[in-house]
Structure formats: structure tokens, C-alpha cells
């Protein structure tokens, strides 16, 4: 599995511009909008007695309630199976480290990008390299993997621009700790090529990198 990295360096977060890389909160989830079910116009020509009118109103209200319950059941069922079909299937965004990351002991040389784990720190990091050296985060390093997004296996290749945008979203959702403010950091994105996608690579990565080399001596994650 060959993971091709993108060399563009995304812009630093806007606030604060000179305090390293601040925390970037995940974007707020869009509210789920349900269609509003409105009863049809029950007005009829001619005379309608009071009892018939109440029966008609009750029937309309009952139909609206039943229709709403059916809609809710269908909506809940569709959200329980997000990967059911098509390119609209949801992927998985990871911003929280769940140990173990790259296996001990560290350092480990020659680790390919496909085996990078969220939270890994890298010495002499080169985003275009076919392999990197993973080190303990409390030793000098120049980059750390802080967020990643996994596409569903059945998805077709979305194109470089879509992958680049998704990697940027991952960077914007990255949860950074106080240590990030102690260093001059940049975001750097990585995503699959068409070849690596065909080989099963479905991951886009977001790193923080230090332009000064192996000057980071702590994890910048919480």
C-alpha cells in the first residue's frame, strides 16, 4: 500500500497568528431537518355539521401523527446504516488517540505511511518518503499525525481535489493540547493517489510539522 503525500502546506490557523498552532474546534454538526408535514386543506363546499367537522379534523391530525412516526422510523433506520450504498456513505474521522499507536519499542525505522497510527511522532519527517522513523513523542521530532479520515472501502476514487479538501477538514477538526502553543507549527496534508486507492488505501492524514526540524519534544495532542 503506497500512500502518496501532498506537498501543499495549508494555512496556519487564524487565531492567534503568532502563538504556534492553536486548538481548532471541530465544525458544529448541521442540524437534522425533517420535512414538515402539513395537513391538506380540509375545507369543502356546502354545509358541514359540527360532528362531521370534528371527525375530519381528528382524522387529519391522526394521519399527520402516523405519517410523522413512519418518517422518523425510516430516518432512524437510514442513519443506523451510513455505509449502505453509494459515495454518500459516511467515513470515519479520528482525532482521539486510542493506544497502542505504533508498536514499541521506539524508535522504529522504515515504517510505511499505511502503518502510521494517530498520535505517532516522526523524526526527520519527509511527507514524500516511502517510509519514516517513528520516535517517542518526548524525544526530538519534526512532525506528528494529529487527525485522519478513513473513506469506506466500497467508495470510488473521489479525485485529488476532494481528497485534499477532506484532509483539510481533518486538520480543522484536530484536537490539540497546550503543548502546541510552545512551537512554530504548520499543518500538512497527505492523501492517496489513484494507484494507492486501487490498492486499498482509503485514508487522508493531517500532520503538524515544525519547519525548524526536530525541535518538538512533546506530543501536541491533549
- 148-197 pLDDT per residue, tens: 999 998 899 999 999 999 999 999 999 999 999 999 999 999 999 999 99
Question: Cell numbers 485534499 correspond to what residue?
Answer: 164
Beta strand 121-123 with 92-94 is unpaired
Q: Which of 53-67, 71-85, 97-111 has the highest mean pLDDT?
A: 97-111
Cell readout for 86 is 453509494
pLDDT at residue 90, rounded to an integer: 79
Residue 35 exposure: Cα atoms within 13 Å on the Cβ side: 11
How far apart (Å, rounded) are the C-alpha atoms in residues 189 and 168? 7
Q: Is 90 helix (H, G, I), strand (E, B) or coil?
A: coil
The answer to whether 67 and 40 have CB atoms below 8 angstroms apart is no
Rounded distance, CA 30 to CA 36, Å?
18
- Is 62 strand, coil or helix? helix
Of all residues in the chain, the percent with pLDDT exceeding 90 is 49
How far is Cα 77 from Cα 71, in angstroms, rounded to an integer? Answer: 10
CB neighbours (10 Å) of residue 82?
Answer: 12
Q: Rounded to the nearest 5 degrees, what angle is found at the Cα of 167, between the Cα atoms of 125 and 130?
A: 35
Q: What pLDDT digit, counting tens, does each position of 100-129 carry?
A: 567 778 999 999 998 999 999 999 999 889
CA-CA distances (angstroms) from residue 58 to 45, 54, 65? 19, 6, 11
What beta strand segments (E) does 120-168 contain?
A: 121-123, 132-135, 143-150
59-63 long-range contacts, CB within 8 A, separation 24+: 63/39
Rg (CA), the chain: 25
pTM as predicted: 0.60
Amino acid at each position: 500500500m503506497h500512500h502518496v503525500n501532498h506537498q501543499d502546506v495549508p494555512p496556519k490557523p487564524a487565531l492567534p497568528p503568532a502563538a504556534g498552532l492553536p486548538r481548532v474546534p471541530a465544525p458544529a454538526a448541521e442540524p437534522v431537518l425533517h420535512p414538515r408535514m402539513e395537513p391538506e386543506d380540509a375545507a369543502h363546499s356546502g354545509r358541514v355539521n359540527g360532528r362531521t367537522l370534528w371527525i375530519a379534523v381528528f382524522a387529519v391530525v391522526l394521519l399527520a401523527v402516523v405519517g410523522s412516526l413512519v418518517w422518523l422510523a425510516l430516518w432512524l433506520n437510514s442513519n443506523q446504516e451510513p455505509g449502505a450504498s453509494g459515495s454518500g456513505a459516511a467515513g470515519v474521522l479520528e482525532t482521539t488517540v486510542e493506544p497502542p499507536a505504533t508498536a514499541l519499542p521506539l524508535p522504529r525505522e522504515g515504517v510505511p505511511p499505511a502503518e502510521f497510527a494517530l498520535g505517532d511522532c516522526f523524526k526527520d519527517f519527509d511527507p514524500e518518503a516511502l517510509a519514516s522513523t517513528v520516535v517517542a513523542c518526548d524525544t526530538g521530532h519534526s512532525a506528528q499525525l494529529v487527525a485522519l479520515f478513513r473513506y469506506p472501502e466500497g467508495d470510488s476514487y473521489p479525485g485529488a481535489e476532494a481528497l485534499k479538501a477532506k484532509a483539510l477538514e481533518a486538520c480543522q477538526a484536530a484536537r490539540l493540547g497546550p503543548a502546541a502553543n510552545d512551537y512554530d507549527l504548520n499543518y500538512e496534508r497527505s492523501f492517496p493517489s489513484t494507484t494507492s486507492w486501487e490498492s486499498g488505501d482509503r485514508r487522508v492524514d493531517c500532520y503538524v510539522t515544525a519547519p525548524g526540524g526536530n525541535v518538538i519534544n512533546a506530543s501536541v495532542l491533549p
